[in-house]
Structure 1
Amino acid sequence: MASQKNVCEVLLDNLHAVGARQIFGVTGDALNPFLEAIRNDGRFEWIAVRHEENAAFAACSQAALTGGIGVCAGTVGPGALHLINGLYNAKREYAGVVAITGQISHKERSTEYHQEVNLTKMFDEVCGYQAVIDSAEQMPRLAQIAIQRAMIEREVVRIELPIDASEEPVPNLRSHYHVVTKPSAIIPPQSEIERAAEAINSGKKVAFFCGVGCREAKDAIIDLAKRIKAPVVHTLKGKDIFDYDDDPVVGMTGLIGNPGGYHSLRDCDVMVMFGTDFPYDWFLPDGPQIIQIDSRVANIGRRAAVSVGLVGTVRETVERLAPLVKDKSDTHYLDLQKNRSQRWLKAMDEQGDLSNKGEPLHPQLVAKAISDHAADDAIIATDTGLCIVWIARQMRLKGGRRLVGSFNHSSLGSGFPTGLGAVATHPDRQVWTMCGDGGFGMAMQDFVTAVRYGWPLKVVVFNNSELGFVKMEMEVAGYAYNRTATHLDNPDFVAYAKSCGGDGARIEKADDILPAIEAASKSDKPFLIDAVVSAGELVMPPHVDVKQAWGFGMSKIKEGILGLKGDHVQWDNWEDEIKAAR
């Protein structure tokens, strides 16, 4: 007769049933039984990171790339709390992540015991469900509930393993039960689909606005857009779905968008939103009819006044909508936006051309060169900050490339651990993680993790010795440059990478770029490119309003006054910006 399985062993069976194979975490006393179960099980790989927050970001990356779940773990109290920021990112990205935490024994609860934290209360904001295992009998049901919610509802869930329950045998184990692993399609009522078709048919200038929810529906959306001559605008998260080579695609709107994307939405008379919860409502029009298709009812009408809201998965909804939409022949609106987009795209390519020999180096050159030479199925993991701008404007993600990052939570320091999760998930694919120097400095302790597991991760650090995006935000808001707050004193990043057992190269001029990219591409070690770039790059949105122009102008006046008073840092800042502009 087979021996009874304990709480941790049953948990592993449930995780394995939905495809989990790796667990990112930092162990500790309360997790020791769980680690022993992993060792005896043989089906899982424990990935020992140096910080639990990085474990959570890596698990989020894995869930986003696979459509399955990611798993991370931290022990009692502080170890568990370190997970929260990365888990909040998973919540905002709708990435199904299972967080496993230890807990002190029941007899010590409410005594202010060593490292005691009420984790249920602390995780209540981030988790859609928490399974607190107080007795072994609970494990089969609670684990199934939690893991299914992560898998199907794309929620963050937490499973708490108190040290005095973890090794208890599970009695009366349900020998036959089905774990749900496949999500269902959602189809709106036919009457609402017909209303949407009527609105589209009535439009003279129809524009599509597409988000990450379109991943399974790209071909159907492009075909429909071609038929009705609608420009296709996409969000940043949709950049690895839609590309300029797809005929009606005009690119992005928003602060880092382009004029074609901006005017396609602002000037249309019917806008159709497909699978996007784009948060910047001031870039959305308030005059035209708006049709919104989303699988989550909470997203319908959240950002703009909607004429027709369809709760449905995008592919299935478009398949039923398209036959009801009449073809259009007038190409003027689409042609106008495509011309705007192509002129802008040409300007972006010129900014990133390696013939630009100016120093300090323009970051656009680095981003475009990686775009031109990375593998066709490369994964691009990104941090928050100015590196996002160069990805949006100088990089192409057509074909089999993927983009993953902290797009809604926008957590500084997320880029490097997101890359760890990507390369752990796909060690056979080329993974580039694009970081600012501020973001990399927050997570660089886990470079040794990439070395330990032999992952050939390619890390690009845009090293401008500034929190560059924050500096830009200050100036647009009308504040003078504040060197004390935004300047960074950086170490030798390449020396650091080599001291960890990896490799790297420093680039300071245009001629250094391609040799560094070639070395990184060939390296079987983690490879860091320290790109010393200009701190004076100005990022202009596709449309500058009066408030932004006024704020930037006021910041320059204030900087000039401070400079005249003896603050010579202001003159240095102006010199950097003038050099970058030239």
Structure 2
Amino acid sequence: MTDETRDWISVGHIDDLPEGRVKTVTARTTSICLVHFDGQWAAMNNHCPHQRGPLGEGSIEKGVDDKCWIRCPWHGWDFDPLTGKPPGGHEDSGQDMYPVEIREGEIFVGIAPEPPHERTVTDVMVETLSNWGVQSVFGMVGHSNLGLSDAIRLAVGDGKMTYFGIRHEGAAAFAASAYGKLTGTPAACLTIAGPGATNLLTGLWDAKVDRAPVLALTGQVQTQVMGPGAFQDIDLLSAFQAVTSFSQPVLGSSNHAELAALACKTAIVEQNVAHLIFPDDVQTNPSDQPASAPEGRVTAAPVIPAQSEIDKAAAMIKSARRPIIIVGHGAYPMRDDIASLAEQMGMPVLTTFKAKGLLPDSHRCAGGVLGRSGTPIASWFMNEADLIIALGTSFSNHTGIERSKEIIQVDHERMQLGKFHPVALPIWGDVGAFCEAIARADCQNPGADDQISELADRWDIWRREKQQRLQEDLGKGIHSFAIFEALGRLVPDNTIFAVDVGNNTYSFGRYLETKGSQRVLMSGYLGSIGFGLPAAMGAWAATQDKAALKGCKVVSISGDGGFGQYPMEFTTAVKYGMNITHILLHNGELGKISKEQRSGEWPVWETDLQNPGFAAFARLCGGHGVKVTDPADIEAAIREALDHDGPALVEIMTDADLV
């Protein structure tokens, strides 16, 4: 190769490297050991042939022969600083050398023109993931996933994927879980082997128990050292077995496109976690396999309730004086059908916490959230009901559906029907199909109570009581109702709320009144602290990917304990310009746990927190941050944060006892 045919790449200035020193530089993607020795400049392959140690991180040292050598920092192998040859080396041994030119003090290294990209195993698999609709990837690039990361980089460059580099892999899993809960389609989370992979597990369990599709893509050590206990070598197949519905290693002999397709199909069809393990050495193997696509491999699966079951349900409804509807998160896609049926039949609609907002509180049939985080309105109608129509709800013990009542339960998953206790009429079918069938049936009871008028009265009573609670002031901080009353008024009708756990969550469920098409994301069955901010990142990514969510505002809510789990993800939000407003209730303790200790007649112990100024922290991260200590300032602070184009945090000093 002649100098004319090389690409000459600038790698720095002569002032960057003193005499007698070496340095690692990169020319395009080629790692080079740059040498300044004996008044001369040299450039050689940066990788020691022993174990690819970085020569540019070594030093020039005098050997026993009084000759100076570059010494590899890993295991002490020596090389001539100007020729790259080892001691006693032959003419054809030693490091590859690159020509160097100094041009007006700038150092240029001549390397071969970049060859065409050779298609790899991970190219095939990433293209398959993209074909199956995977658009967003949350993760951390590391030494055992570099080949896979490069395939994702190319997909990002082609506009087929978006990548978000997080600060902790646990946040990646929570973000992907929230994305799946919101859209019903999977995002991916990327990690290295060992600790990177195990850091995913909490977020993946959140996805599993809340039935959210997620793809976990984990690096792995090279196949030849798997098993004996190499650095960061753990049995990932066993580690992920309980939390995944599909988990497979990617081997050199695998059908790579098919593995990726089955992972996607499992996540989508089963609404569960799928996992692919990528050994380091397999990732860059050449491959000429075509990518897979979903055409001809998935289908809609409507479940139409049996007419005999519809007839039984209609008869039960017709004989009831006070029937109510309780909806769970699984019924969200059928929200219009549920609202139409409730209006036609004059039935109150109560929601589980996960389904908060499915029927907005502004709707005349809405009764709010039922259960520990709910409203007295919902509790009252539950107590007075003589028939419960449960749609897409899993009967969590926190929801408190009264099992002694007569219950019609509808779900498209047969295992959910009567799962925890018998019900009067379990119906296997889609909630939307059930609502349409009941709407056509003769089931109106002319003697039924006017519950809709009662709903309006009960809302008036509750709203008056909430205003009275504002008068409570123990001198230790702001009442949470003041926060959620203002937030509910100020946020847009299409807001997506990502809610953490703790006192803040209970207050949100109880006090904030939803409107429009608002959605709520939470760590439901797992109830994991730290969910709020990473979930908001996942929700924001979904608003960029999905046409139906374009323009939705994302608001996350946490206490100081929850935010403290993944605070550095605020820098992730800043880096990618995520338009997230975070409402942080700062009371200086794990308030919910303090309450549980007192309730259980335990001493309050080790629930206090040592916190920074979170608003100042947000500003240091490059975002918007404001601190509120006076209730009169809440509205202006929230309004300013909502208007900010980018991540914003409102830190509100609250009283842990006023929830």
Question: TM-score range, shorter-chain basis?
Answer: 0.7 to 0.9
The structure with higher relative contact order (CA 8 Å, sep 6+) is 1
Q: 295, 306, 310: which is aligned to 1:189? A: 306
Q: 492, 502, 509: which is aligned to 2:613? A: 492
C-alpha distance in 2, partners of 1:399/1:114? 52
Q: CA 1:3–1:272 in 2, change beyond 3 Å: closer, same or farther?
A: same
C-alpha distance in 2, partners of 1:135/1:437? 47
Q: CA 1:10–1:532 in 2, change beyond 3 Å: closer, same or farther?
A: same
Q: 502, 510, 530: which is aligned to 2:631? A: 510
Q: CA 1:171–1:362 in 2, change beyond 3 Å: closer, same or farther?
A: same
| Alignment coverage as a number of residue pairs | 534
Aligned partners of 1:137 and 1:171 also within 8 Å: no
Identity level (%): 28
C-alpha distance in 1, partners of 2:293/2:578? 39
Q: Which residue in the other structure is 2:462 paired with?
A: 344
- 96-105 vs 62-71, greater mean Cα deviation: 62-71
Aligned partners of 1:261 and 1:337 also within 8 Å: no
Q: Deviations over 1:5-26 (max 9, x none)?
A: 4221121122212322220001
Q: Which residue in the other structure is 1:103 paired with?
A: 220
**2:461 matches 1:461:** no
Q: CA 1:138–1:350 in 2, change beyond 3 Å: closer, same or farther?
A: farther
Q: What amino acid is the match of 1:523?
A: H
Q: Which residue in the other structure is 2:573 paired with?
A: 450
C-alpha distance in 2, partners of 1:448/1:172? 39
C-alpha deviation, 1:338, in angstroms: 4.8
**2:145 matches 1:36:** no
Q: TM-score, normalized by length of structure 1?
A: 0.86
Query: Aligned to 1:494, what secondary structure does the other structure show?
Result: helix
- 72-81 vs 372-381, greater mean Cα deviation: 372-381
Q: What amino acid is the match of 1:29?
A: H
Q: 474, 490, 493: which is aligned to 1:376? A: 493
Q: What amino acid is the match of 1:222?
A: A
Query: Aligned to 1:88, what secondary structure does the other structure show?
Result: helix
Aligned partners of 2:214 and 2:274 also within 8 Å: yes
Q: Which residue in the other structure is 2:341 paired with?
A: 224
Q: Which residue in the other structure is 1:433 paired with?
A: 556
Aligned partners of 2:315 and 2:443 also within 8 Å: no
Q: Deviations over 1:110-137 (max 9, x none)?
A: 2111111111111111111112212343
**2:141 matches 1:141:** no
Q: For structure 2, list consecutive stretches of 5 or more residues without a partner in the other structure.
A: 1-115, 545-550
Higher helix share: 1
Q: Which residue in the other structure is 1:557 paired with?
A: none
Query: Aligned to 1:184, what secondary structure does the other structure show?
Result: coil
Q: Which residue in the other structure is 2:94 paired with?
A: none
Q: For structure 1, list consecutive stretches of 5 or more residues without a partner in the other structure.
A: 540-582
Aligned partners of 1:263 and 1:337 also within 8 Å: no
Q: What amino acid is the match of 1:453?
A: Y
- Listed as ranges, the matches of 1:62-101 within 5 Å are 62-101=179-218
C-alpha distance in 2, partners of 1:159/1:377? 35
Q: Deviations over 1:482-503 (max 9, x none)?
A: 1x42111111112211111112
Q: Which residue in the other structure is 1:262 paired with?
A: 379
C-alpha deviation, 1:281, in angstroms: 7.1
Q: TM-score, normalized by length of structure 2?
A: 0.77
Higher strand share: 2
- Listed as ranges, the matches of 1:172-571 within 5 Å are 173=290, 178=295, 180=297, 183-280=300-397, 283-329=400-446, 330-333=448-451, 335-336=453-454, 338-351=456-469, 360-426=477-543, 428-480=551-603, 482=604, 484-537=605-658, 539=659
Query: Aligned to 1:209, what secondary structure does the other structure show?
Result: strand
C-alpha distance in 1, partners of 2:209/2:463? 30
C-alpha distance in 2, partners of 1:356/1:258? 22
Q: What amino acid is the match of 1:345?
A: R
Task: Let me know the Cα RMSD of the aligned residues.
Answer: 2.3
Q: What amino acid is the match of 1:19?
A: G
Q: What amino acid is the match of 2:197?
A: A
Q: What amino acid is the match of 2:257?
A: P
